[in-house]
Structure 1
Amino acid sequence: MHNISELKIWQKSIELTKQVYLLVAHLPSDEQYGLSSQIKRSAISIPSNIAEGGGRNSNKEFKYFLSIANGSTYELQTQLILLIELKLLKEENVKPIIELCVEIQKMNYSFQQKL
């Protein structure tokens, strides 16, 4: 078992989720139950799966949940790109969050290799 609050990848994913929530608050109201809801679910999935994996009894189980978290970062990244492509938000507001997704993806891959 791992102390997730000490894991940098978990800390970064919490920060990512907070930034996503602040970002989607600026979406049009007609997206509240569509893309906005899906984006928030993807973001929440990242630290949640890291936490669940960290609470498991083996590194093999932890890697499995890190893999799920990684998939969620790619899902979130795709949804954020759609925000730009659909011109729902300005690229300069979304791009830093996409960059944080990429950073977390790299951290996740590296962490899985170390386990």
Structure 2
Amino acid sequence: MSEGSGRNSDKEFANFINIALGSSNEAENQLILAKDLDYIEENDYQNLLSGLTTLKKKLATLWNRLNGN
């Protein structure tokens, strides 16, 4: 995120937000895999997923605002 914060335009910053959203989707897939392979407990999975979902909603809201939606 710090890379995008120094950019000159909302459009450029929105692109970095979009990349962060993609990365958060990848993180969610890895989280699901960790749970399925019993690397993490269900309670930890739920807590992490909740935080990740909150982050994704905030990123999506910011992206929408930067794009005039």
Shift of 1:51: 1.5
Where do 1:1-115 residues align within 5 Å? 50-115=1-66
- Counterpart-to-counterpart distance in 2, 1:74 and 1:85: 17
Moved over 2 A (4+): none
Cα RMSD (Å)? 0.9
Shift of 1:94: 2.0
SS of structure 2 residue aligned to 1:61: helix
Structure 2: runs of 5+ lacking an equivalent: none
- Over residues 58-98 of structure 1, what are the superposed CA-to-partner deviations in whole Å (9 max), with x where a residue is unaligned? 10000000000011111001101111101111111122111
Higher relative contact order, structure no. (Cα contacts within 8 Å, ≥ 6 residues apart): 2
Q: Which amino acid aligns with 2:60?
A: Y
TM-score in terms of structure 2 length: 0.88
- Over residues 6-25 of structure 1, what are the superposed CA-to-partner deviations in whole Å (9 max), with x where a residue is unaligned? xxxxxxxxxxxxxxxxxxxx
SS of structure 1 residue aligned to 2:15: helix
CA contact (8 A) 1:74 1:101 kept: no
| Paired residues, number | 66
Structure 1: runs of 5+ lacking an equivalent: 1-49
